[in-house]
Structure 1
């Protein structure tokens, strides 16, 4: 009898440790207009196996229900293995500029070799993921999301069909959403900070003027079949602008 009680107590402690670990790994960060807020779940001391299992089940249901309303706001870290050889990243891989000479980098299979582009380190296959980027002082750029299977080598056509959901600021000063039919986005003041939101379950990628807190465009009704990564095309043809593109921490 004593042995059975000890085994139950050990199983209960193990279950609680697993739950605590799951909460740590799935910490909920909600993006609001004012701030990113972190929520911590406090576990009450369990009294019995049945009580703890009931609490565990209830918490799992609450986490599942809040998932669809949660936006994970994070600073994107760029993957140097994907950066085209003329792209120069900062030491912390959050700022993008260009090099006058082609850099001596390994010919990684994930690397863009023609288009001056780079991807974020992390790809996403669930949830609502949000990131921001400063384009202040940049007369041309291309930002958005790219699928894991999207083309990296050679010249390419950017479109959702080819795994790219992007917004372009062209040399003529037009903001264009590169959809099946390009859409020119009207604006009065050129945005300084853009926010990109991936809603994987809904099949939607939205772009915002983060400074003005206004919606600019959404790619809707998309079907994501693999991981989706943050995408930045520096547009190297703009050789006169030395201003970097900077990835920000939303807040």
Structure 2
């Protein structure tokens, strides 16, 4: 009887692991699907715009040709009409290239990894390690914060893995790359291809901002675009007084979460143009920004916020999760 109960309990535990893994995996697949749909919608809008321009060019050419039939003096002006319109031809070729189904690339690398992980499901069940956690953590990249970008009221650890607010304005070199108004700091490393993942510990904090940014983000003065997510150059999630908000291009997205998370994951994927924020303990997506393509290298960006009378004095810490050497 005891053996029966133990076996039943073990299978129930396995089922719970599989159910949780299925939930997380499906949520990420849905996120990828939304990104693909947005990318295709963008291609369709560009295609419609090009078609309209080509139709307008065609109408102008038809009107001009009609005019030549009634006005012989214009024949010499349109003597080139027997030759193809090079600009229109180039646009048609460009349109065909943009709408060629073979040019829509699927995320083959992730698909192969998913298939490999699926084939080893028994190993994962035995280890009780969810697929998506293992996959995302395989993209972990180590970064160090660049103290030359940090606001003078931020203390950057000697290892470059944490940032904390201090009420004292530090006497630091007035470098052009240093934020002088917003409490931001960027990573020393920038990334321009592949997939990259970081986890940041925000335990005990009442205010923080985490995200990624192009190096072109404004850093001087009081302009709002210096804040993370307020310009086209950056994407972020902000936590303030119990509320979570995602930002990009000054557009806020209120998030339906009330629990105070202790560790946030940031995942950027160049192949599909995604910036995803996750609750790192169970890999639940918080918000996904779809950029389709990135135009520059991305740097991790952190803002630990003011201390709020001592309630927000703890630093934000990059956990630098080591990427697994191999996937089971």
Q: TM-score, normalised to structure 2's length?
A: 0.53
Conserved 8 A contact 1:76-1:248: no
| Structure possessing the higher relative contact order (Cα contacts under 8 Å, 6 or more residues apart) | 1
Question: Offset at 1:239?
Answer: 4.1
Q: CA 1:220–1:160 in structure 2 vs 1: closer, same or farther (change >3 Å)? A: farther
Conserved 8 A contact 2:243-2:255: yes
Aligned to 2:122: none
Aligned to 1:245: 316
Give the 5 Å matches for 1:72-111. Answer: 72-111=139-178
1:125 to 168, 192, 208: 192
Question: Offset at 1:250?
Answer: 2.0
Q: Does 1:151 align with 2:221?
A: no
Q: Distance in 2 between matches of 1:95 and 1:237?
A: 15
Give the 5 Å matches for 1:69-218. Answer: 71-155=138-222, 156-157=224-225, 158-159=228-229, 161-171=231-241, 173-180=242-249, 181-218=251-288
Listed one character per residue, the Cα deviations across residues 120-158 of structure 1 (whole Å, up to 9, x for unaligned) are: 110111010110100000101000101111111122234
Q: Note the residue ranges of structure 2 that are not aligned, 5 or more in a row.
A: 1-23, 25-107, 114-134, 323-328
User: What's the secondary structure of 1:81's corresponding residue?
Assistant: helix
Q: Distance in 2 between matches of 1:167 and 1:122?
A: 20
Conserved 8 A contact 2:307-2:313: no
More strand by share: 1
Q: Distance in 2 between matches of 1:72 and 1:219?
A: 18
1:225 to 271, 274, 295: 295
Aligned to 2:120: none
Conserved 8 A contact 1:176-1:185: yes
Q: Distance in 2 between matches of 1:185 and 1:76?
A: 27
Aligned to 2:101: none
Q: Distance in 2 between matches of 1:93 and 1:139?
A: 22
Q: Distance in 1 between matches of 2:314 and 2:169?
A: 19
Q: TM-score, normalised to structure 1's length?
A: 0.69
Conserved 8 A contact 2:306-2:313: no
Conserved 8 A contact 2:232-2:248: no
Listed one character per residue, the Cα deviations across residues 54-112 of structure 1 (whole Å, up to 9, x for unaligned) are: xxxxxxxxxxx748868530232100010000000112111111222111111111111
Listed one character per residue, the Cα deviations across residues 194-215 of structure 1 (whole Å, up to 9, x for unaligned) are: 0000111211100000012211
Q: CA 1:159–1:239 in structure 2 vs 1: closer, same or farther (change >3 Å)? A: same
Rg (Cα) greater in structure: 2
Q: CA 1:246–1:136 in structure 2 vs 1: closer, same or farther (change >3 Å)? A: same
